[in-house]
Amino acid sequence: MGQHLNGKVALVTGSGQGIGRAVAIALAAEGAKVVTNNRSPVKKNVANQLDEKKLARLTPEQLKWYNEEIEKYTGDAETTAAAIRAAGGEAAAFFGDLSVFDVAKKMVDFTVETYGSIDIVVNVAGGFGFAPVDKITEELWDRVNDPKPKGYFNVIHHAVPYMKKKGWGRIINCSSPAWTGGPIRQCEYCAANAGVVGMTWGLATELAEDGITCNVFAPAAKTRSSVDAELIDKTTDVDERATKDGQPFTSYDESQPPETFSAFIAYLASDEAKDVTGSVFMTMGGFIGRWANPTMEATMFKPEGWTMETVLEEAPKTLFKDYKNINQK
């Protein structure tokens, strides 16, 4: 085991499976005591987007593949904690929904009561869904936007006072490459993940003098949701496909597991990353990239204000000179 996080206590939400599990194990491997979390013990492993009606539309070969692959993504907060303990680390599980304000407080309180502190928060919990905007239900919107950014705020709200007292803290929030949009039919997911980025940017400045860094990682990895993404367009009508062209962003077989980049999240939680804050990273296999912060690329100004005529005259020469919209390359 490493020692870069010795003496630190970490809470990792959404760490029963997939990315959160890999992160929790990586933090523990560097010496952190870890509280793992997901909403409830897993009784039966299923794909979130493929209900019985959709599964019935798969061919026998596709259904066989689904059943084989979904069994690879079993586990919950307790099995992750048990894996950490088996490797010689310290970990305890907390089951609860971080999108409920009082439950998030209980989760933070449990962390402090169990290990005496809360130094690191890594929020990975999230919801997922595919639908064109005119078919997104209120239930789907809330299911995706309640965990993030709302649930992330809930945990951070309760954890920050402990970090301020120590003058040290690490907040690392999981977003998605979808925070930048793209050819996907899941604007509710784009909104949730863009909200995570905006919230984290605000916190990075607000909490800087308290010795607390705040960063975002936007992962692409092979997880249970990858099974959804691989099959969803084979179970829906053309006008409800997850992507406009019906092609997955990355094929399932080409995706890499989250363990390939989880050590980078442990780095962000360490003393060595004390000056890294307000940044958004993409993590995918062995690739780690850092997005530039938004900048103003064109302006126009008229002290006396604008009329339609002056906008029509000036905008093409200034604001829209060499302009390309989001769909143009």
Q: Which residues are catalytic?
A: 189
CA distance 5 to 122: 14
| DSSP one-letter code for 184 | B
Q: Phi first, then psi: give them for residue 148, nearest 5 degrees.
A: -135, 130
Exposed e or buried b for every residue in 64-79, given b needs 16+ CB within 10 A? ebbeebbeebebbbbb
- Give burial (CB, 10 Å; 0-12/13-18/19+) of 153: buried
Greatest alpha-carbon pair distance for the chain in Å reads 72
Which has the closest alpha carbon to 42: 18, 68, 62? Answer: 18
* CB-based contact 218:282 (threshold 8 Å): yes
The Cα–Cα gap between 72 and 252 comes to: 13
User: What backbone phi and psi angles, to 5 degrees, belong to 32?
Assistant: -75, 145
138-145 helix and 187-206 helix, angle to the nearest 10 degrees:
30
d(CA 185, CA 207): 35
Query: Is residue 218 within 8 Å of residue 179, measured between CB atoms?
Result: yes
Q: 218: which strand partners?
A: 282
